[in-house]
Amino acid sequence: AIGIDLGTTNTAAAQQVGDLPKIVDFQGERTTRSAVAFTEGGDRVIVGNEGTGYLELDPEATFESVKRDMGTDTTYEVPTDGYTMTEHTPETVSALVLRKVLDTAEASLGTRPDEAVVTVPADFPEPARRATERAAEYAGVDVLRLLPEPSAACAAYGLRERDDPIETVLVYDLGGGTFDVSVVEIVPEADLYEVQGTDGRQRLGGDDFDERLLEHVAEEFEAETGIDVRESHQERERVRQAVKSAKHTLSNASE
């Protein structure tokens, strides 16, 4: 079995080896982007970190943040030639990400996992949960359990094993697409975490910060030059990648 954090922006996975988890290595990285690019008329599929490179080249055939659409009727159309379109769903795109995780895990760990524990937001709607299970089924792995992300966070930080016992913890989870705050009760004698309450926004995260920054830069640029870069899908994505890079730089810079 393998544990998978199928995230809005990035996906990570680990397998327990002895008493410790072994993180799946994605070409030197601990995570891979939850991105899928359909290139060459849909004949070639590029998944993960490599797929994000096609956002500027072919943004209409590159998909990210599909987790926010899980459990909905959303479809993504990919032009296969000049006359026809192929439809994909959030489940089928997520399945491609999960399949990459399984392929990488097999190469990294020496065996292909056939069962998985997959983390989901604590307040993930039931249709989104079922969609996540279908995506795993399409990828060829059985879901042992959908684990609430706040419980996974508490387990990752080993809060049950502390010398000074903690009974209740607030988990603040701000990701690429969602924002959740959960109150989790720790029950050492039962060896479990119980989510007592959660609240948040299904569509509030790094993607939304990027969109707001993009709008700000586009408005400033249009005021200075009279050119609206948002009219071109390709130019819009170039600006998005630029503001995202600036945001990342500010994570390590003071100004």
The answer to whether the beta carbons of residues 236 and 219 sit under 8 Å apart is no
| Whether 173 is catalytic | yes
The answer to whether the beta carbons of residues 62 and 88 sit under 8 Å apart is no
- Catalytic position from the list 64, 67, 237, 244: 67
CA distance 35 to 58: 13
| Whether 210 is catalytic | no
- Catalytic position from the list 91, 149, 207, 210: 149
- What is the three-class DSSP state of 110? coil
- Catalytic position from the list 64, 69, 91, 173: 173
Among 127, 132, 139, which Cα is nearest to 102's? Answer: 139
CA distance 8 to 107: 24
| Whether 149 is catalytic | yes
| Whether 5 is catalytic | yes
CA distance 103 to 26: 10
- Catalytic position from the list 5, 64, 123, 237: 5
Contacts of 123 (CB under 8 A, 6+ apart): 180, 198, 199, 200, 202
Write the CA distances from 104 to 2, 32, 92, 111, 207, integer angstroms. 12, 10, 18, 10, 26
Q: Which residues are catalytic?
A: 5, 67, 149, 173
